[in-house]
Amino acid sequence: MNRPLTVMLVAAEASGDSLGAGLARALKARLGDGVRFVGVGGQKMAEQGVKSPFDIAQLSILGIIEGVRALPMVKRRVRETAALAAAEKPDIAVLIDSWGFTLRVAHALRRLDPSIPLMKYVGPQVWASRPGRAKTLARSVDHLLSIHGFDAPWFEREGLPVTTVGNPTLIRDFSTADPARLRAHIGAARDDQILLVLPGSRPAEIKHVFPPFEDAVRRLKAERPNLKIVLPLAATVAETVKARVAAWPFEAHIIEDPILKDDAFVAATAALACSGTVTTELALAGCPMVVGYRLGPVSYRLVMLVFKSPWVTMFNIAAQDEVAPELLQTDCNGPQLAAAVAARLDDEALRNGQIDAQFEAVRKLGRPEIDPSELAADAVLKLLAERAA
């Protein structure tokens, strides 16, 4: 009996876990029992058959100083990942996002077996900071799967082949979401306003971003007792956030079910969101938002030395305008966040104008016509066929 194709998938954060699960699903649809998966990932990849040797939540590191402190742990997890590859002997390894961790895994796999084809899924944002990473990546892997078309030239000029697959977030379909179902679930009347609070998917984001979000929510509830507070949570931080919300002096509704999360995105009046993939999802759902983000103070100063974009939200970058307000670092505080959210709760015309502008900005990002996971699967199989020829 022929050995099934063994694909190693390595993801260290919630967004990468989603990408890895989509790629695994697409490969299984093509190959059935002819493919098996090993590697590192979270809950979604586990559902597709990737049994991770450790919990990836500890690898969701935020900030330069925090990264230095976590380096011994990261190196230990890299060794465990390489040991898994040595035991399972994958035919190809796909290393998903998470620059610091996956680059070290790439180097470890090269030392282990230089014949293993290495594919990076999502390149570093060299157009925003540290362009030298393009050359580093070109020396470390064989192929890049890019989610943005404007990435390719940066890496191709360094000799790294690039396949642009598109951003899977941009094919999110909210057409079946049912706002009435969400309202019934939380006991909201048809005219009750709903505020989504999305504090991030990394433990470090809960540490830095959630406290000012909590302060903002308290201020908003004090002025609007009937405002419904809904928190759709990522699995990586759910238990931590639930423990903190339990101490709030008012009711807040935790949502973990994926179907109800979609319902919430469409039902919400406005959202207070940590910068990240979720901002694009909110825009696609037609939800106006205020974006907040914080790092440790030293890490923030170091990041600002190399970060070149005036915005951090992808659709703001695409629009070259602050379509959704960004309150970062010292501006990410309870009073300012609450004021920005209140302006949207109180002004329907402002909300509608922002929704339209968000749709237009997302359109500029380029909505894929084909599922990016399918294109990623095509690229994996093509690289393997080229190596076998």
**How does pLDDT run across 186-210, given as a tens digit for each residue?**
999 989 999 999 999 888 899 999 9
pLDDT at 86 over 80: yes
Domains of the chain: total = 2
Q: What is the mean pLDDT of residues 355-373?
A: 91
Are residue 196 and residue 304 in the same domain, yes or no?
yes
Provide the mean pLDDT of the chain.
92
Are residue 217 and residue 328 in the same domain, yes or no?
yes
Are residue 307 and residue 338 in the same domain, yes or no?
yes
The answer as to whether 121 is a domain residue is: yes
What is the C-alpha to C-alpha distance for residues 73 and 31, in angstroms, rounded to an integer?
36
Q: What token pair was written down for 71?
A: 């380096």
What is the C-alpha to C-alpha distance for residues 160 and 158, in angstroms, rounded to an integer?
6
Residue-level pLDDT at 185: 97
**How does pLDDT run across 149-197, given as a tens digit for each residue?**
888 999 999 999 999 999 988 988 999 999 999 999 999 998 999 999 9
CATH label of the domain that carries residue 152? 3.40.50.2000
Are residue 284 and residue 295 in the same domain, yes or no?
yes
Are residue 40 and residue 81 in the same domain, yes or no?
yes
The answer as to whether 174 is a domain residue is: no
- Partners of 194 in the β-ladder: 228
Q: Return left, alpha or beta for 35; rule: phi > 0 is left, psi -120 to 50 is alpha, else beta.
A: beta
Are residue 208 and residue 351 in the same domain, yes or no?
yes
The answer as to whether 173 is a domain residue is: no
Q: What is the DSSP letter of 201?
A: S
Rounded to 5 degrees, φ, ψ at 248 are: -65, 145
Q: What is the pTM (predicted TM-score) of this model?
A: 0.80
Contacts of 132 (CB under 8 A, 6+ apart): 126
Within its chain, how far is the Cα of 12 from the centroid? 11
Q: Report H helices in 270-371.
A: 277-285, 297-306, 314-319, 334-346, 348-365
pLDDT at 44 over 80: yes
Q: What is the mean pLDDT of residues 66-85?
A: 89
The answer as to whether 172 is a domain residue is: no
The answer as to whether 355 is a domain residue is: yes
What is the C-alpha to C-alpha distance for residues 18 and 243, in angstroms, rounded to an integer?
25
What is the C-alpha to C-alpha distance for residues 270 and 175, in angstroms, rounded to an integer?
19
Of 32-36, 118-122, 298-302, which gets the smallest average pLDDT?
A: 298-302
Are residue 252 and residue 357 in the same domain, yes or no?
yes
pLDDT at 355 over 90: yes
What is the C-alpha to C-alpha distance for residues 20 and 387, in angstroms, rounded to an integer?
22
pLDDT at 326 over 80: yes
pLDDT at 32 over 90: yes
Please state, in angstroms and as integers, the Cα–Cα distance from residue 200 to each residue in 75, 89, 274, 275, 329, following that order: 25, 35, 5, 7, 15
Q: What token pair was written down for 13?
A: 């954060």
Contact 229, 195 (CB under 8 A): yes
Are residue 325 and residue 381 in the same domain, yes or no?
no
**Higher per-residue confidence, 38 vs 301:** 38
The answer as to whether 134 is a domain residue is: yes
Angle at 343 between CA 341 and CA 349, to 5 degrees: 120
Query: Which range of residues forms the domain containing residue 208?
Result: 179-365
Banded model confidence at residue 236, pLDDT cuts 50, 70, 90: confident
**Higher per-residue confidence, 142 vs 202:** 142
The answer as to whether 171 is a domain residue is: no
The owner of tokens 């009073």 is: 335
pLDDT at 84 over 90: yes
Are residue 358 and residue 267 in the same domain, yes or no?
yes
Within its chain, how far is the Cα of 67 from the centroid? 18
- Partners of 290 in the β-ladder: 272
Are residue 376 and residue 334 in the same domain, yes or no?
no
The owner of tokens 């014949």 is: 115
pLDDT at 102 over 80: yes
Are residue 152 and residue 235 in the same domain, yes or no?
no
What is the C-alpha to C-alpha distance for residues 56 and 78, in angstroms, rounded to an integer?
12
The answer as to whether 320 is a domain residue is: yes
The owner of tokens 């004090």 is: 222
Are residue 202 and residue 269 in the same domain, yes or no?
yes
